[in-house]
Amino acid sequence: MSEPHGNRIVVVGGGVAGLEIATALGRRGRRRQAGEAASVVLVDRDSVHVWKPMLHTIAAGTSDVSQQQTAYAAQARDAGFVYQPGELCGLDRARRSVRIAALLASDGRVMIPERCLAYDILVLAVGSEANDFGIPGVRQHCHMIDSRAQADAFSREIRVRMMQCLGQDARLDIAIVGGGATGVELAAELVHLTHAAVAYGARELERRIGITLVERDARLLASFPQDISEATRARLESLGVNVRISTGVVAARADGLALEDGGFVPASLLVWAAGVKAPDFLAHLDGLETNRSHQLLVRPTLQTTRDPAVYAVGDCASLVPAGAGRPLPPTAQVAHQQARHLIRHLPGALRGTPVPPFRFRDFGSMVSLADYDAFASLGKFGFFEGGTLRGRLAQFSHVMLYRRHQSRLHGFWRGSLLWLVDCLNSRLRPSIRLD
């Protein structure tokens, strides 16, 4: 397969990586003379972008999704790329074309028929989804928090359950499976939701809601340093979360979780956050090479191993850095740095200049326990190499991850204005969804 020569870049998936790529290359194209510039098309199955690391706050109803979303059509107009709504459903590498499924209205009518888009360079940035590891009952009984729709569905469900809890004098036991950042952050956010509801007068909720977090590993946040794991566990327990470690889930049922140690966690609302995999369709995408988690294998240049015209970034890609024993983790930090690499080098690649290898710089990891606390382990780069942060400074660093993403999408001034509007809204509006 030859290297690409042309000017059409198609990006599939407008998440952390994909939307940053389409935005930056669209803007760059606008500044160039017509004819010199790349034409950039972004495909996404949703109509709006939400920064995925905030989905747990949308699920808990402690952030308002309508204030935190970016409409792709508006972003396309502002940044100078073309937005094609729809789901990628096929790839023809020989013809360099992707197939986008028909876009249907909620009543099944076809709004936009199936179409094919030609590309010179294709960037796949379709993210990941929860991995149920084939455990019985998970798909039927557990909520997952991988998309705006799922977070919104959970938010609606928990509000119904809280009303029932109040109106019918019943208990509400919630179990979260997975003690990684998603599970830990969601547990803290649900405590925050309960405390806010109590402050609005629903005092009985405090003793009627129980939250259990189950983790198979011997500690929470296995990818963080031990002291952060222990401090996080202690903080969650002090907030009333029942933390169960060193025990896996063998089955999910309508009334709770069966554990491998023979125990049972009774719960009527279950959330699965125990690991991720790339979408299944990637394993059958015109022969591109994938691993067991369906991630596309990429070379250090981020080109897929079997086709130099097809790049993959973010959670859907698997890259083992030279000398490292394992692939880069599925985090927003990796997705953003890979996006930045392609933003810099794809215009040259269109003219036939080879893309240099991507080098990941580990700036550390952060976890935020709602308004209560935050922890950060500082990575191998940066001023405080290898140190840890806790409290307000760590919380501020966590907030900055999102604010920097916003300013990359909207520019410094608009990004700052959006932050200001959020600060004003946090003073003027209820702190949780009450609709």
Ligand X SMILES: Cc1cc2nc3c(=O)[nH]c(=O)nc-3n(C[C@H](O)[C@H](O)[C@H](O)COP(=O)(O)OP(=O)(O)OC[C@H]3O[C@@H](n4cnc5c(N)ncnc54)[C@H](O)[C@@H]3O)c2cc1C
* Residues contributing to the site for ligand X (CB under 6 A): 12-18, 43-46, 52-53, 55-56, 87-88, 125-127, 145-146, 181-182, 185, 279, 314-316, 330-333, 335, 366
* Shortest distance in whole angstroms from residue 16 CB to ligand X: 4
* Shortest distance in whole angstroms from residue 20 CB to ligand X: 8
Question: Cα separation of 189 and 204, whole Å?
Answer: 19
Q: Which of 77, 79, 81 is nearest to 38 (CA)?
A: 81
Burial of 24 (0-12, 13-18, 19+ CB in 10 A): buried
Nearer to ligand X, 205 or 274 (CB): 274
Please identify the residue of the shown chain whose CB is closest to the bound ligand X.
15
**CB pairs under 8 A, 24+ apart, for 193-200?**
193/60, 193/61, 193/62, 193/158, 193/432, 196/62, 196/431, 196/432, 197/162, 197/432, 200/430, 200/432, 200/434
* Shortest distance in whole angstroms from residue 21 CB to ligand X: 9
Q: Which of 210, 206, 297 is nearest to 256 (CA)?
A: 210
User: Which phi and psi angles does 153 have, rounded to 5°?
Assistant: -65, -40
Nearer to ligand X, 267 or 339 (CB): 339
Nearer to ligand X, 145 or 370 (CB): 145
Reduced to 3 states (helix: H, G, I; strand: E, B; else coil), residue 422 is helix
* Shortest distance in whole angstroms from residue 150 CB to ligand X: 9
* Shortest distance in whole angstroms from residue 59 CB to ligand X: 8
Task: Give 227's contacts (C-beta < 8 A, 6+ positions apart).
Answer: 388
* Shortest distance in whole angstroms from residue 321 CB to ligand X: 17
Nearer to ligand X, 88 or 213 (CB): 88
Nearer to ligand X, 182 or 212 (CB): 182
Q: Are 164 and 199 in contact (CB under 8 A)?
A: no
Burial of 252 (0-12, 13-18, 19+ CB in 10 A): buried
Task: Tally Cβ neighbours within 10 Å of residue 284.
Answer: 12
Q: Which of 120, 123, 197, 115 is nearest to 162 (CA)?
A: 197
Angstrom distances, CA of residue 101 to CA of 105, 166, 285, 352: 13, 44, 14, 31
Q: Are 111 and 306 in contact (CB under 8 A)?
A: no
Nearer to ligand X, 157 or 255 (CB): 157
Nearer to ligand X, 87 or 371 (CB): 87
Measure CA 23 to chain center: 18
H/E stretch holding 309 reads strand 307-312
* Shortest distance in whole angstroms from residue 418 CB to ligand X: 18
Nearer to ligand X, 131 or 331 (CB): 331
* Shortest distance in whole angstroms from residue 189 CB to ligand X: 9
* Shortest distance in whole angstroms from residue 27 CB to ligand X: 18
Please count the CA atoms within 13 angstroms of the CA of 80 that sit on its side-chain side: 13
* Shortest distance in whole angstroms from residue 272 CB to ligand X: 11
* Both structure tokens of 393: 């400074």
Nearer to ligand X, 15 or 256 (CB): 15
Question: Cα separation of 225 and 427, whole Å?
Answer: 36
Nearer to ligand X, 12 or 165 (CB): 12
Nearer to ligand X, 146 or 215 (CB): 146
Nearer to ligand X, 72 or 267 (CB): 72
* Shortest distance in whole angstroms from residue 147 CB to ligand X: 6
Report how far apart the first and last C-alpha atoms of the chain are (Å, whole number): 55
* Shortest distance in whole angstroms from residue 85 CB to ligand X: 9
Q: Which of 410, 407, 415 is nearest to 78 (CA)?
A: 410
Region of 212 on the Ramachandran plot (φ > 0 left; ψ -120 to 50 alpha; else beta): beta
